[in-house]
Amino acid sequence: MNVLVLNSGSSSQKSCLYQIEGSLPEQPPACAWEGKIEWADGKAEYSIKNAHGGSQKGQAATSDRGEGIEGLLRSLWSGGTQVVSGPSDVDVVGHRVVHGGPHYFEPAVVTAEVRSAIERASAFAPLHSRSELQGMEIVAKLLGTVKQVAVFDTGFHRTMALSASTYPGPYEWFEQGIRRYGFHGINHQYCAERAPQLLGRLDDEKLNSFKVVSCHLGNGCSLAAIRDGHSVDTTMGFTPLEGLMMGTRSGSVDPGIVTYLMRQKKLSGEQLDDMLNKKSGLLGISGISSDMREILAATKNGAEPSKQMRAKLALDIYVHRLQSGIGAMGAVLGGLDALVFTAGVGENSPEVRAAVCENLGFLGVRLDQEKNSRLPLGKDVDQDISAKDAGVRVLMIHAQEDWMIARACWNLTQS
Ligand code: ADP
């Protein structure tokens, strides 16, 4: 079965094709084809490759998202990265949908009703929802009536208790759907399943109380507290802005700052949105970059002193917020069996993992410094990087959102 996955960001489009023969494999297989476009300054940077060694990279002088995505998808059946003979060879298409709104949590076949639920939820996440709906339209245009499936990033957190998902504002908020939804659920769920598998504890009878804190640290960052495979709390809320410090997002700040800036500085909603989502976080504090690699490099000796000071402050805030968030999640769970690091920073930065774990000895966290710094060992190697006798297993798990979406598609085509 050929399963195509579309993962839309506000300024990027990632996509991959899985070829699943027979039954569903236990481990995520490699993509038969994968492509990515990033838009910046009126240009599109694209890179596409297939499992047979075909690849193409380049820049297209178009800021038109639709054109870019169509070009990307056509390379599935034409040119040097071809893997299928035509559009009709694609059996099902899965979309990562950031926000399912108050009614959609389980993966769903895209119907007119599901589409309008996503449209309604676009009031909560306008940038993402627009790209997702556009992706669905383009697929319908190029692939006709192929089955399309929406997999919601909010879905995994549907099990949070009302005490964790309700904001202590006026009760009307709750009635209006203003509540904590949480995001990154597709990957947090993968980590919740992968952690006991990696530790060889899938048959463990005590697994029904297995407690995991998963740290998804990419451009966006969030924690999830997971008990018995279910989300009981998370740091993102009504939007993906709440919680940890991120690449360009502030994470949680005193809402009084927002009302102060509106009153005293006459900032508009759009200006505040832009400030909190695009000009804050690592970028806002360092003034250098939203990319953790550049922040870490600027903290080293030899960097310009004023840049170094701000980069160090950015890193210190990032780590401080992570430590306090992990402590809070541990308290909600009443203890911790495994701490998982995943996504760009979590998978690739021994320095950040070591800094975060440094203060968590009270929870039983202790890293094996050598194992931690030897990583990454390989693209797909998940690892236990904790000291042998530590009370908590610290795991590095590669994010597998696309595979989770493909799996949901496969399941929905079996019924
Ligand atoms: P997204 O959230 O867009 O899916 P990723 O999960 O790929 O992104 O994470 C991207 C981030 O990962 C980059 O912005 C960068 O900060 C970080 N990153 C990638 N490689 C490294 C590395 N070797 N060291 C530190 N950070 C890294």
Examine the pLDDT at 44 and tell me if it is beyond 90: no
89, 91, 153, 203: which one is catalytic? 153
| Res 378: pLDDT | 59
CA of 291 from ligand 1 middle (Å) equals 7
- In which band, very low, low, confident or very high, does the pLDDT at 182 lie, cut at 50, 70 and 90? very high
3-class SS string, the chain:
CEEEEEEECCCEEEEEEEECCCCCCCCCCCCCEEEEEEEECCEEEEEEEECCCCEEEEEECCCCHHHHHHHHHHCCCCHHHCCCCCHHHCCEEEEEECCCCCCCCCCEECCHHHHHHHHHHCCCCHHHHHHHHHHHHHHHHHHCCCEEEEEECCHHHHHCCHHHHCCCCCHHHHHCCCCCCCCCHHHHHHHHHHHHHHCCCCCCHHHHHCEEEEEEECCCEEEEEEECCEEEEECCCCCCCCCCCCCCCCCCCCHHHHHHHHHHCCCCHHHHHHHHHHCCHHHHHHCCCCCHHHHHHHHCCCCCHHHHHHHHHHHHHHHHHHHHHHHHHHHHHCCCCEEEEEHHHHHHCHHHHHHHHCCHHHHCECECHHHHHHCCCCCCCCEECECCCCCEEEEECCCCHHHHHHHHHHHHHHC
| Res 374: pLDDT | 82
Task: Compute the mean pLDDT over every residue in the chain, rounded to the nearest whole number.
Answer: 93
Report the 10 Å Cβ neighbour count for 297: 14
The domains spanning 2-152 and 202-401 adopt the same CATH topology: yes
User: ∠ CA 151-215-385 to the nearest 5 degrees?
Assistant: 120
Assign a CATH topology to domain 202-401. Nucleotidyltransferase; domain 5 (3.30.420)
What residue owns the CA closest to ligand 1's atom 14?
A: 291
What residue owns the CA closest to ligand 1's atom 3?
A: 219
> How far apart are the C-alpha atoms of 219 and 277, rounded to whole Å?
11
Whether 89 is catalytic:
no
**pLDDT tens per residue across span 198-209:** 998 766 665 568
What residue owns the CA closest to ligand 1's atom 7?
A: 344
Strand order of the sheet with strand 2-8?
55-60, 43-50, 33-40, 12-19, 2-8, 92-97, 147-152, 108-109
> How far apart are the C-alpha atoms of 26 and 11, rounded to whole Å?
32
> How far apart are the C-alpha atoms of 165 and 229, rounded to whole Å?
18
Examine the pLDDT at 376 and tell me if it is beyond 70: no
| Res 208: pLDDT | 64
Among 127-131, 185-189, 218-222, the range scoring the smallest mean pLDDT is: 127-131
| Res 207: pLDDT | 58
CA of 355 from ligand 1 middle (Å) equals 17
> How far apart are the C-alpha atoms of 77 and 72, rounded to whole Å?
10
Examine the pLDDT at 276 and tell me if it is beyond 70: yes
For a mutational test of ligand 1's pocket, the pick from 8, 222, 345, 400, i.e. the residue with the most ligand atoms closer than 8 A to its C-beta, is: 345
Average the pLDDT over 98-121 and give the result. Answer: 92
| Res 377: pLDDT | 57
Q: Which residue has the tokens 């922040």?
A: 295
Domain extents in the chain: 2-152, 202-401
> How far apart are the C-alpha atoms of 136 and 4, rounded to whole Å?
12
**Residues whose CB is less than 8 angstroms from the CB of residue 298 and which lie 6 or more positions away in sequence, other chains included:** 286, 288, 307, 308, 311
Average the pLDDT over 156-183 and give the result. Answer: 96
Widest Cα–Cα separation across the chain: 63
CA of 169 from ligand 1 middle (Å) equals 35
CA of 255 from ligand 1 middle (Å) equals 28
CA of 314 from ligand 1 middle (Å) equals 16
> How far apart are the C-alpha atoms of 367 and 287, rounded to whole Å?
31
Report strand pairing: 108-109 vs 221-227.
Answer: unpaired
> How far apart are the C-alpha atoms of 367 and 384, rounded to whole Å?
9
More confident residue, 313 or 374: 313
CA of 219 from ligand 1 middle (Å) equals 6
> How far apart are the C-alpha atoms of 188 and 153, rounded to whole Å?
9
| The CATH number of the domain covering residues in 2-152 | 3.30.420.40
**Residues whose CB is less than 8 angstroms from the CB of residue 184 and which lie 6 or more positions away in sequence, other chains included:** 153, 216, 220, 222, 224, 234, 236, 240, 343
Query: What's this model's pTM, rounded to 2 decimal places?
Result: 0.95
Average the pLDDT over 183-193 and give the result. Answer: 97
Question: Atom of ligand 1 at shortest distance to CA of 294?
Answer: 16
What residue owns the CA closest to ligand 1's atom 13?
A: 291
| Res 153: pLDDT | 95
**pLDDT tens per residue across span 396-415:** 999 999 999 999 999 999 86
**pLDDT tens per residue across span 236-264:** 999 999 999 999 999 999 999 999 999 99
Q: Which residues line ligand 1 (CB under 6 A)?
A: 218-220, 247, 291-293, 343-345, 348-349
Tell me the angle at which helices 350-357 and 292-299 cross, rounded to the nearest 10 degrees: 80
Phi, psi (degrees; rounded to nearest 5) at 36: -145, 140
Question: Atom of ligand 1 at shortest distance to CA of 401?
Answer: 4
Q: What percent of the chain has pLDDT above 70?
A: 96
What residue owns the CA closest to ligand 1's atom 8?
A: 218
> How far apart are the C-alpha atoms of 134 and 72, rounded to whole Å?
14
Q: What percent of the chain has pLDDT above 90?
A: 82
